Structure 1
Amino acid sequence: MDGVAVDLRALQAPDHATRGIGRYTLQLIEGIEARDPSAVRAYVVDPAFPLHREAQRLLQTGKLRRSDSVELTDAPPRVFHTTSPFAEGSSRDAPALPDWATAEVRLIATAYDLIPARFPDVYLRADSDRRWYQHRLALLPLCDRILSISESTSRDLIELAGVPDSRIVTVHGAAGPGFGPGELAADVIRAELTSVDPERVASGFVLVPTGIEWRKNLDRLLQAWSMVDPALRHRTPLVVQCHLAPDARCHLDERIRSLGLRDSVLMTGEVGDAELVALYRSATLVVFPSLYEGLGLPVLEARACGSPVVCSDSSSMAEIVERPEARFDPMDPADIARVVELHLRDPSLRSDLAADPVPERYELDAVCRLVLGVYRDLATGRGRIVASRRPRIAVASPVPPQLSGPSAYMAALLEHLVDLCDVTLLTSVEPAAVVVPAGIRVERITSLPLLELAEGRFDEVVYFIGNSPFHVEELRMLRRRPGCVILHDARLTILHSELAVSHPEEMPGGFGGALHRMYPGRYPGVMGGSGYLPLPEEGLYGVLMVRDVAELATRLFVHSSHAADLVELDCGRRPEVVFPIPSPPVNDADPAPGEQLVASFGFVSPAKRSELVLESMVGLPDVDLALVGDSGEEFLQSLRRRADELDIGDRVHVTGRIDAGAYDAWLARSTVAVQLRMHSNGESSASVAETLAAGVPTVVTDIGTFSEYPDDVVVKVPVDLGPRELAAVLRQLLADSDRREELRNAGRRYAAEHSYRHAAETLVSTLGVVRSGSSVGGW
């Protein structure tokens, strides 16, 4: 681990590359290369961003590297400088840092401004914008050094981002080497000023280098211009230099007309550097009315060209233009007009203003010296040690209040995992809404890269992944940060179908494209084209879609040998069986007296053979049935109608969604539980674990994971049995109290041996995690 790597996303992002941030970054890099070609080991391009022509200008250094290159992955740099922490690619989901930029890598970030944080009502009105910005803003306090481009930005870093002053280095900025003083002959002016009529500006003009954006304050400047003496406006028209989209141009034209300024305002549109320099050098006065800037590069460029500049008495601009009389209140058009007219009427005042030397701190050599000094300090400094008494594990899973089997599973596992290690739960919901045991830290799953940056890599990141929409964010993060995976299901078709809908950019070609990419030539070409697989088709062809997860997982676990068989046959990798599905605490209470009750627990669906269980009740006239669990209301109603058709409606209870207390009450009342399956996804049944722990004799389908239960623990029935056959099995069991007692005791013993406590201990032992103490940089 050695050397310095510099991020080039400031030169890749289309909204940055040719504007202030891109210009600043390219100039800094070229300055560093000119002064010390050995200072930087690599310039890092992000493959998620376009390779903009501005980034290509650095090809001649021979140091451009992809962020996912083997060179950087195998031997990360000692220092990584992110030149634009807020750069956006085609997707905001692009990670803030490369995967190899772990806590062992010293981190530098350039902070240009915190304008969105300063004006959130303008820039962060949408929740999605605010969340994204706050996520990126959270990176700054984690950096070893922040390179601030002005004292104003440095103050904002302390106030708005919570960055300690000791970690901020104000390096300022400089105009590019092409910006300098010079006399322009009339023919040169005509040649360069292609965007305006040279005859209109022959006697001078007022230049406004700006942009069409609220903060640039152009409308107040136009109001101020309308207050300036008309004779001055006619003699020295206002030249607005900025990029103008057609609709913006129309709006601006209308505003100029409404203010009566059509004869005294010209617009250049976007211009190249040569023409911009010509505009600066030949301008009578340059006005920069911005409300807030990180630096104010146009002010520096104009001053470097020897132009007299008046500007806002705000933020960094007050640092660059030091004469108070050359600054105005940007919120007050009358004050803007006063300062502009004062300088237009007084040539000596303009001459004195133009003659003021630009402070040395704004020279490129001074900026580069400061940056190179930071590089040297961090490249040779020691990292800080973050020690934890116990292993540090991050767990990514659904949790309450999310309603799913894996959610309840995780809540129970965390009760014991917290006793064995330091646990950070990674969730896709608002952390404040999550219900977890005391001692568990809860963070958004998207924060994982920043957490590892701040505290060092976790000893292990464990993703619990199942076949439902609740696991989409786990799959997305697994792609960015591989880790251990525990599969709740061997089949992940629903998960991939949901990912294709919610994040199509991550599944080129959609669901069908992902299916055929994972398994080229295995399935008919039309399969998956509708964006999902119907259950009959899924079962007929045995589609699992587990290959991607299996290939990403650093270690892969399942709860049964059956699931391991399915995964191995699907993709060639055999998972480890970490432990059987855990059981809740054993309930030793005696069965409740009263009428006999057959019950089925968990999600109610055709796949759970709910209709078959209901129809078997016809052969058991003295027995009640409870179907305890949620489903779609339409299916639940169809079951109730079917019970009425069979004239057993008074003995059948279809509960729908109920709370935990009611669920436990049904368990306590049950004489026998029936937990059937039509087919297997390789899943293990939490409902069977619950019935065994509750001491309820349980009938299961002899399929998949159910087949692995010992024969003395459950009663197994064939997949293809009908209602009469099931009724016969239940009749025999209900009549044999001794057999039920044997099953009750065996089930409780099995549940005690496979508790959540045992699962937590087995997991930590199997992972082999040890106490962490990694070097993660110093502050």
Structure 2
Amino acid sequence: MIVVNARFLTQHVTGIQRFAAEITRELLTLRADTVLAVPRGPIDTRGLDASRIVRVGRLSGHAWEQLELPLFARGRGAVLLDLTSTGPVWYRPQVSTHHDVTWLRHPDSFGRRFRTLYALVVPRLIARSDHLLTVSAFSRGEISAHFGTSPDRFTVVPNAADARFRPSGEGAPAADGRYLLAVSSPNAHKNFGRMLEAFARFSPRHPDVELRVVGSQTRAFARQEYGAPGERVRFLGRVGDDDLTALYRGALAFVFPSLYEGFGIPPLEAQQCGCPVIAARAASLPEVLGDSAVFVDPYDTGDIAGAMARVVDDAALRERLRRDGLRNARRFSWRTSAELVSRVLDDVAARTAARV
């Protein structure tokens, strides 16, 4: 039996929660032996099969994860699957997922409570898990080096873009206007300050182009404050997937200047909608995007501004990036990634049975 630690259904959706939900969705179609354990309180099922969701215990949050979840899994002799970087530190057999070490590389993006909790849980979980998952070769190298564990203990399970993100002409129409688009939570490592500076350098020669920013911060992150963003910068907050699809389709380009990403789902979503991508030459982004994006030095606002101008001014370049982006996005699939996870679970189950 497989028990999925589904505490992510109690949390706001960021890239990590999206990974967890989509891998779980595919696993439920691949395997009949899988159930989702959730704590008490409200949940968002994200369209997952409710008949496979089991309410466990009376606690919530990290206390539930460390105490009641492992007791539930132990009572069923299950392999426990964690998909969101935390899990019970004493339970075996267990497969845990570690997306990146942003909390170590850019601690200014995170609150003190979050950093303290991760410092307590993550090293122990990595040391004691039967197998480890991560989302890119870059993250595998970062995590294994920092925690002194063999890269061979990891399976790389890439993210993908949801099928709802697709080119114009299929579903929701494109948004109106000429604009650049950014999608992310505005935390320090997302580099929004330099993006706004770059747009301020770009905008005098492009007075008809806006910058639209989608996203908001969760409580885990340290709040970032920016100066006056300028009259042609619009912060849209959280938007639904249909509105986000329309924004991707209508944008002249998607700008992703992040200093550190374990993977980076938004550029793939943009590419799958046919939107050209400008991205930082940093962390996992060259691995994920290959030759399908315009890369910039994320610390150089002049370079970012220059890339904005090149893409906005050159229709042929935008068309090439659109074609290359669609091709690149096709390399990734939630079903293929879930099949990798399923094979890992079978291997851990077989090794556990052999030890009995």
Residue 243 (structure 1) aligned with residue 216 (structure 2): yes
Name the residue aligned to 1:145.
131
User: Which residues of structure 1 form unaligned runs of 5+?
Assistant: 87-95, 386-774
Q: Which whole-Å deviations, capped at 9, do the CAs of 1:236-257 have from their partners, x for residues lacking one?
A: 2111112379xx99955x421x
What is the CA-CA distance between 1:276 and the residue it aligns to?
0.3
Name the residue aligned to 2:333.
363
CA distance in 1, matches of 2:349, 2:136: 24
Name the residue aligned to 2:205.
231
Distance 1:113 1:297, change over 3 A: same
Q: Which whole-Å deviations, capped at 9, do the CAs of 1:383-412 have from their partners, x for residues lacking one?
A: 797xxxxxxxxxxxxxxxxxxxxxxxxxxx
Name the residue aligned to 1:32.
27
Name the residue aligned to 1:9.
7
Other structure's SS at 1:381 match: helix
- Of the candidates 16, 24, 45, which is equivalent to residue 21 of structure 1? 16
Q: Which whole-Å deviations, capped at 9, do the CAs of 1:79-123 have from their partners, x for residues lacking one?
A: 11112234xxxxxxxxx428xx63xx3211111111112234x25
Give the partner amino acid of 2:193: D
- Of the candidates 43, 52, 55, which is equivalent to residue 36 of structure 2? 43
Matches of residues 574-653 of structure 1 in structure 2 within 5 Å? Answer: none
CA distance in 1, matches of 2:217, 2:234: 12
Distance 1:377 1:363, change over 3 A: same
Other structure's SS at 1:112 match: coil
- Of the candidates 41, 53, 68, which is equivalent to residue 44 of structure 2? 53
Preserved contact between residue 286 and residue 308 of structure 1 (Cα < 8 Å): yes
Preserved contact between residue 361 and residue 367 of structure 1 (Cα < 8 Å): no
Distance 1:320 1:85, change over 3 A: closer
Name the residue aligned to 1:675.
none
Name the residue aligned to 1:380.
350
Q: Which whole-Å deviations, capped at 9, do the CAs of 1:555-583 have from their partners, x for residues lacking one?
A: xxxxxxxxxxxxxxxxxxxxxxxxxxxxx
CA distance in 2, matches of 1:310, 1:272: 23
Distance 1:343 1:142, change over 3 A: same
- Of the candidates 120, 127, 134, which is equivalent to residue 119 of structure 2? 134
Residue 110 (structure 1) aligned with residue 97 (structure 2): yes
What is the CA-CA distance between 1:381 and the residue it aligns to?
1.8
Alignment length (residue pairs): 339
Matches of residues 331-730 of structure 1 in structure 2 within 5 Å? Answer: 331-356=299-324, 357-358=327-328, 360-382=330-352
Give the partner amino acid of 1:135: L
CA distance in 2, matches of 1:349, 1:140: 44
TM-score w.r.t. length of structure 1: 0.41
Give the partner amino acid of 2:76: A
Give the partner amino acid of 2:8: A
Distance 1:324 1:367, change over 3 A: closer
CA distance in 2, matches of 1:22, 1:334: 34
Preserved contact between residue 136 and residue 157 of structure 2 (Cα < 8 Å): yes
Greater relative contact order (Cα < 8 A, sep 6+)? 2
What is the CA-CA distance between 1:269 and the residue it aligns to?
1.7
Give the partner amino acid of 1:147: L
Distance 1:159 1:250, change over 3 A: closer
Matches of residues 73-222 of structure 1 in structure 2 within 5 Å? Answer: 73-77=74-78, 79-86=79-86, 96-97=87-88, 102=91, 105-120=92-107, 122=108, 126=112, 130-138=115-123, 139-183=125-169, 188-189=173-174, 198=176, 201=177, 204-222=178-196
Distance 1:172 1:182, change over 3 A: same
Preserved contact between residue 44 and residue 64 of structure 1 (Cα < 8 Å): yes
CA distance in 1, matches of 2:188, 2:28: 36
Give the partner amino acid of 1:378: V
CA distance in 2, matches of 1:30, 1:280: 24
CA distance in 2, matches of 1:111, 1:374: 15
Distance 1:170 1:251, change over 3 A: closer
CA distance in 1, matches of 2:118, 2:111: 11
Q: Which whole-Å deviations, capped at 9, do the CAs of 1:151-173 have from their partners, x for residues lacking one?
A: 12111111112221111001111
Identity, in percent, stands at 25
What is the CA-CA distance between 1:124 and the residue it aligns to?
7.0
What is the CA-CA distance between 1:382 and the residue it aligns to?
3.9
Distance 1:62 1:152, change over 3 A: same
Preserved contact between residue 182 and residue 305 of structure 1 (Cα < 8 Å): yes
Preserved contact between residue 292 and residue 321 of structure 2 (Cα < 8 Å): no
RMSD over aligned Cα atoms: 2.9
Preserved contact between residue 188 and residue 224 of structure 2 (Cα < 8 Å): no
CA distance in 1, matches of 2:100, 2:223: 27
What is the CA-CA distance between 1:62 and the residue it aligns to?
3.0
Preserved contact between residue 293 and residue 321 of structure 2 (Cα < 8 Å): no
- Of the candidates 238, 246, 249, which is equivalent to residue 281 of structure 1? 249
Name the residue aligned to 2:62.
none
Distance 1:281 1:383, change over 3 A: same
Preserved contact between residue 45 and residue 51 of structure 1 (Cα < 8 Å): no
What is the CA-CA distance between 1:275 and the residue it aligns to?
0.2
CA distance in 1, matches of 2:189, 2:181: 18
Q: Which whole-Å deviations, capped at 9, do the CAs of 1:157-213 have from their partners, x for residues lacking one?
A: 11112221111001111111211122279x944xxx5xxxx4xx1xx2111112221
Name the residue aligned to 1:551.
none
Structure with max Cα Rg: 1
- Of the candidates 51, 54, 66, which is equivalent to residue 64 of structure 1? 54
Distance 1:364 1:125, change over 3 A: closer
What is the CA-CA distance between 1:10 and the residue it aligns to?
2.0
Preserved contact between residue 244 and residue 270 of structure 1 (Cα < 8 Å): no
TM-score w.r.t. length of structure 2: 0.85
Name the residue aligned to 1:671.
none
Other structure's SS at 1:255 match: coil
CA distance in 1, matches of 2:13, 2:72: 29
CA distance in 2, matches of 1:144, 1:80: 10
CA distance in 2, matches of 1:231, 1:347: 17
What is the CA-CA distance between 1:58 and the residue it aligns to?
3.1
Preserved contact between residue 19 and residue 83 of structure 2 (Cα < 8 Å): no
User: Which residues of structure 2 form unaligned runs of 5+?
Assistant: 58-67
Preserved contact between residue 139 and residue 284 of structure 2 (Cα < 8 Å): yes
